[in-house]
Structure 1
Amino acid sequence: MAQTKIADVRAKTPDELQEMLVNLRKEQFNLRFQRATGQLEATGRIKEVRRDIARAKTIMTERVRVSAKQA
C-alpha cells in the first residue's frame, strides 16, 4: 500500500477520516507486533503508516480550527 496523498485525505468526509484513522492505528499495532516477534518484512511501512496518521490528524485539526473561526 502506497503512501496517502494529501489531496486524497482532504477529499474525505469527517466520518471517512475517522474510519481511516482507526484502520491506520490497527495497522500500526499489527506492524509493531510483527516487528516485536521478528516477522516484519516491510520495515518502511511503519514510517508510512505513522505519517499517514499524522496527515489524517492534521486535516481533522485544520477542519476544527476553520469551523471554530466561522462560529
Structure 2
Amino acid sequence: MMKAIELRKLTTEELKEKLKELKKKLMNLRFQNSIGALGKNSEIKETKRDIARILTILRERGIKL
C-alpha cells in the first residue's frame, strides 16, 4: 500500500507506469481469487485503493489519461 504523500513525489510518467502495473496486478489478483488461490482477500481492496489514489493525483494535476 502506497501513501498519497509518496505518490505525489513521483513524476507524472512514473505515476502512469505505476497505474499500469497496479491494473495488471489487480487483474491477476482477481484471477487468483476466482480459482481460489488468493491468500489475502484484502489485497484486492488495497490495490483498488492504490489505483484510486493515483487517478486522483493525476486528475489534480490535470493530466488526461
Task: Give the TM-score, by structure 1 length.
Answer: 0.86
Bigger share in helix = 1
**Displaced runs of 4 or more, over 6 A:** none
* 5+ residue gaps, structure 2: none
Instruction: List alignment gaps of at least 5 residues for structure 1.
Output: 66-71
Match of 1:45 among 32, 43, 46: 43
The AA in structure 2 aligned to 1:26 is K
3-state DSSP of counterpart to 1:64: coil
TM-score norm. by structure 2 comes to 0.94
Task: Give the alignment partner of residue 34 of structure 1, picking from 12, 32, 35.
Answer: 32
The root-mean-square deviation of aligned C-alpha atoms, in Å, is 1.0
1:45 offset after TM fit, Å? Answer: 0.5
Aligned length: 63
Q: What amino acid sits opposite 2:59 in the alignment?
A: T
| Number of the residue aligned with 2:7 | 9
1:39 positional shift: 0.4
* Distance across 2 between alignment mates of 1:39 and 1:5: 27
Q: Which of the pair has more CA radius of gyration? A: 1
What is the percentage of aligned positions where both structures have the same residue? Answer: 44
